[in-house]
Amino acid sequence: MRTTGGIVAAFVGDDRREGEGVRIGRTQPSGRESRVPRNEAPNEVRVADVTIRSAPVVPLKLTVGAARKVARLKSSTVVLVEEAGRLVGLLDERALATAADDEPIARRLRPILFSLQPTASVARARELFVKQNVTALPVSAGAFLLGVVARADVERALAVADASVPAVGRRAAA
C-alpha cells in the first residue's frame, strides 16, 4: 500500500472477487453496466455504515513521543505509520500510552497487511481484525485513504445487526 500525502495507491482487501457479480439494468456514466456482488444480503452491514475516523500519518523515523504529540493534536487514538511513501503499520492507543517518549516507532509498530474498502462487509472486517490482531484498520477507496475503522465499532455493528435479525431467520448454531 503506497501513500502520498495521505493517498493510498494499492489493492485493498474486499470480500468480492474479480468478475464476481450479476448485471443489473442501470448503466454507469462510463457506459459499463453496474455490478452487484452475488450472495449479497440486501441488508448486510458494510464498513461504510460504521464510523470511519480520520487518523494522522507519520513517518517511521519518528519517536513514539512525537507520534503521541501528533495524535493528541489531531484528537486521534490511532496513528498510521508510513515509510518511503508506503503505509507500513499503525500505533494503537495502548502503544501510544505505554511506550517511552524516546522509543522508536519501529519497536511498537503493528504491521498492516490489509486494508478495507467501504463496500466490505463488517463480518469480513471482523475476520481481518482477528487475523491481524489489531484494534483499527485503514479504509481506502481506490487510491484514497478515507481513515480508519475501529474493531470496537465493527463488533458493535455486528451485535446490532444480530439483534435485529428475527429468531426464525437465524441459523441454528452447530
Distance CA 101, CA 64 (A): 5
Q: Where are the alpha helices (DSSP H) in the chain?
A: 64-73, 93-98, 105-108, 122-132, 151-164
**Using one digit for the tens of pLDDT, what is the confidence trace for 119-155?**
999 999 999 999 888 889 999 988 788 999 999 999 9
**Using one digit for the tens of pLDDT, what is the confidence trace for 12-64?**
343 433 332 222 223 334 444 334 344 455 568 999 999 999 999 999 999 99
* pLDDT, average across residues 97-106: 94
C-alpha cell at 158: 455486528
Threshold 0.85, pTM exceeds: no
Q: Domain ranges for the chain, please list them.
A: 2-16+42-165
As a CATH number, domain 2-16+42-165 is: 3.10.580.10
85 dihedral zone (left: phi>0; alpha: psi -120 to 50; beta): left
Q: Is the pLDDT of residue 72 over 90?
A: yes
pLDDT at 90: 93
C-beta neighbour count of 68 within 10 angstroms: 18
